[in-house]
Amino acid sequence: MGNVMSLHEMRTELTSIINELRNLEHEIRNGYSGIGQDMCANCIGAVADHYQFQVLSRLNNMDQNLITNMLANN
């Protein structure tokens, strides 16, 4: 299967991306003034929220053993 990531690797990578988005949101919100920084930071925060509460939570609910068994049976 080549370069297939494990669920743990996906969770780790996604968590890292979410943290980078949160840092960017914070830097924009606090580092700039008068150029629509709140609107921009809010958009970045919404993207981070989506990946944290929708995608990451689904990955966390997946059972690696179940997926491995399903793939093995196909």
Taking only the tens place, the pLDDT of each residue in 2-44 is 566 788 888 999 999 999 999 999 999 999 888 799 999 999 9
Question: Is 15 inside a domain boundary?
Answer: yes
Residue 2 lies in a domain: no
Cβ-based neighbours of 24, under 8 Å, separated by 6 or more: 44
> What angle do helix axes 37-50 and 7-31 make, rounded to 10 degrees?
170
Whether pLDDT at 1 is above 60: no
Our count of domains for the chain comes to 1
Q: Is residue 64 part of a domain?
A: yes
Full residue range of the structural domain in which residue 19 is found: 7-73
